[in-house]
């Protein structure tokens, strides 16, 4: 967490107490590469993928952020009502609380990884860690399509692949999409999260017995992906502000960051194994 405002909204939970998430600030919407655009806030990342048959939105963020997302999409010259598919990185309130409102306003089909569906249907009340913390609950929503590991989401010639990267939530999802930008082919990786939130039990977790195994699985998955364009569910994960500034200066696209992606995964893996070692009983 770089600032009090966070890398992860949920890292603000202290001793399981309730908290109020500070409203993120708007951020200028912009083209990342090809038909992929940033339409999120200065902290909560949302992405728009534009196709001839309608658009795909990844992450609905807080319910109060929906007008910001809508305004960002329209500022780019696209119609909010053209959102045909809604996806999320994982079923925490800071990425999924606005989903029901977006569904109502756009009629988009909401597609969610199978292990996160129960949290979406319950508005976070079935989350393995935050079920009893009402401050993390969010408006319940229906799911139009249940996704599974490796499933492809296709619209207008663009194909996204859902990679199951559990641990942060049981259905945390990392998205990959192939893009063409200035004659070059890239694969964008939008990492769901492999962060271990404060209070997460990695050993003897009654509500998530195989959490440690899932984190290990997710680390291996992320290490295996070709990551040309490095993105994530929070702006701080991939240094949005600095890269945006460089992009505006006309530099080579700073979001093409294979080294940064690799280092991020390595650091988060190290953080996980350090925490796991702390929690494991001394033999």
Per-residue pLDDT of the chain (283 residues; tens, 9 = 90+): 333 333 333 333 333 334 456 778 999 999 999 999 999 999 999 999 999 999 999 999 999 999 999 999 999 999 999 999 999 999 999 999 999 999 999 999 999 999 999 999 999 999 999 999 999 999 999 999 999 999 999 999 999 999 999 999 999 999 999 999 999 999 999 999 999 999 999 999 999 999 999 999 999 999 999 999 999 999 999 999 999 999 999 879 999 999 999 999 999 999 999 999 999 998 7
Class of 23-279 in CATH: alpha beta
CA triplet 157, 163, 165: central angle to 5 degrees? 155
d(CA 102, CA 83): 9
Tell me the two tokens of residue 226: 């070709």
Tokens found for residue 13: 């939970």
Domain boundaries along the sequence of the chain: 23-279
Give Cα 257 distance to the centre of its chain. Answer: 18
Distance, in Å, from the CA atom of 83 to the CA atom of 108, rounded to the nearest integer, reads: 6
Handedness of CA 17, 91, 122, 148 (dihedral sign): negative
pLDDT for 21: 66
């Amino acid at each position: 967490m770089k600032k009090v405002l966070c890398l992860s909204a949920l890292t603000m939970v202290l001793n399981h107490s309730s908290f109020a998430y500070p409203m993120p600030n708007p951020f200028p919407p912009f083209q990342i590469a090809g038909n992929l655009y940033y339409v999120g806030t200065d902290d909560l990342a949302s992405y728009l993928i534009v196709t001839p048959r309608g658009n795909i939105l990844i992450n609905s963020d807080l319910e109060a952020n929906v007008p910001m997302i809508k305004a960002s999409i329209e500022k780019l010259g696209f119609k909010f009502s053209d959102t045909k598919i809604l996806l999320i990185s994982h079923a925490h309130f800071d990425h999924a609380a606005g989903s029901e409102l977006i569904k109502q306003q756009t009629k988009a089909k909401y597609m969610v990884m199978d292990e996160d569906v129960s949290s979406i249907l319950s508005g976070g009340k079935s989350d393995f860690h935050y079920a009893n913390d009402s401050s993390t609950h969010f408006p319940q929503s229906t799911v139009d399509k249940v996704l599974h590991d490796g499933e492809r989401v296709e619209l207008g010639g663009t194909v996204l692949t859902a990679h199951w990267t559990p641990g942060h939530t049981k259905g945390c999802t990392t998205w990959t999409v192939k893009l063409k930008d200035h004659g070059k082919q890239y694969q964008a990786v939008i990492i769901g999260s492999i962060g271990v939130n404060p209070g997460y039990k990695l050993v003897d977790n009654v509500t998530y017995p195989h959490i440690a195994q899932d984190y290990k699985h997710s680390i291996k998955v992320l290490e295996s992906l070709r990551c040309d364009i490095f993105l994530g569910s929070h702006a701080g994960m991939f240094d949005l502000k600095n890269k945006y500034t460089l992009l505006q200066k006309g530099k080579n696209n700073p979001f093409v960051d294979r080294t940064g992606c690799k280092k991020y995964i390595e650091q988060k893996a190290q953080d996980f194994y350090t925490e796991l070692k702390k929690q494991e009983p001394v033999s």
